[in-house]
Amino acid sequence: MAADDVTPRLTHLDAAGAAHMVDVSEKAVTRREARARGVFRTTPEVIALIGSGGHRKGDVLAVARIAAIMGAKRTAELIPLCHPLPLDSVDVEFAPGTDAVTVTATAVTTGKTGVEMEALTAVTVAGLTLHDMVKAVDPAATMTDVALQRKTGGRSGDWTRDGEPHDSAEPAAPAAGIVDIHPGRRARIIVSSTRIAAGERTDATGPILREWLSQHGFDVAEPVIVADADITAAVTAALADRPSLLITTGGTGPTSDDHTPEATAPHLTTTLPGIAEALRETGRSSTPYSSLSRGLAGFAGRTLVVNLPGSRGGVRDGIKVLDPLIVHLFHLAGGGGHD
């Protein structure tokens, strides 16, 4: 499997080239913000009317601001493949100049997909409303340069348009695309299943994890498949190689054959119980049996170790939990601070 296949693709087209709505059910719920900007160009006379409140239609900017917020709320009804989002806030600012008004809209959500389109829609609707308000005086007015300026949150990380200043409280954004994990980190996967080791079943978890880790720039070896009784030796051997990350699947349940937590616990120098609880909580949205998992998470020296269930759904839930955390975890493991 190619670890560096990051060919850009249009996410709203399926393998056959047909338009479809992207499935975001497995993405993490995180805070996301987007800022867009556009320039409404008119005449100095119109700018004077807007500033003095002398326009016969009333407060031009107030009407445009309300329209922009309403437009952001209706984005999913206007753009066919956009997901409906619960907007936490929409802020619209106007900066009048000599013969133009710069419109800036910032949209915020806590959700599974970004708010870029909501911010862009707010700016566009504000421009349309400004045109409607002034067209009797200046029918030649135009709305130009509508563009996304920056976005934060989500799997693709933060992005800022060249020339746009960063907020002083936030670090500079990495390039959009694959999350900023240094390539060359080694990851190991162990699958604990007596039936798979005996050839009675096919492993469905290792390939999912290997693809995900490869997309993040990890050097990922073939998953090691062992019988449940051999998991202790397998974990010990894997950690002796000092990989950056060790993920196990299977053997986390309450039966007498499930030994993965016991194989993991003696090696952990720092436990991360919050991750283990998040894994169980995320799984409960799909099955109540998630509560039966005894999986652990923590650092064994500088190796991050995570126990995942032995099902495809459990692994996908694990990816949902780990994806927004993994960059920061390795930052901390490397001696970085919390800022």
The residues annotated as belonging to the active site are 132
Angle 184-190-191 from CA coordinates, rounded to 5°: 140
Q: How far is CA 21 from CA 12, 13, 16, 164, 330, in A?
A: 6, 8, 14, 31, 33
Cα diameter, the chain: 83
Q: How far is CA 336 from CA 153, 159, 271, 274, 331, in A?
A: 20, 22, 18, 20, 5
Residue type at 275 in one-letter notation: I
Say whether 21 counts as a known binding-site residue. Answer: no
Strands 245-249 and 186-192 turn out to be parallel
Say whether 1 counts as a known binding-site residue. Answer: no
Say whether 117 counts as a known binding-site residue. Answer: yes
Say whether 82 counts as a known binding-site residue. Answer: yes
Residue type at 331 in one-letter notation: H
Contact 138, 60 (CB under 8 A): no
User: Residues at the annotated binding site for substrate?
Assistant: 81-83, 117-118
User: Residues at the annotated binding site?
Assistant: 81-83, 117-118
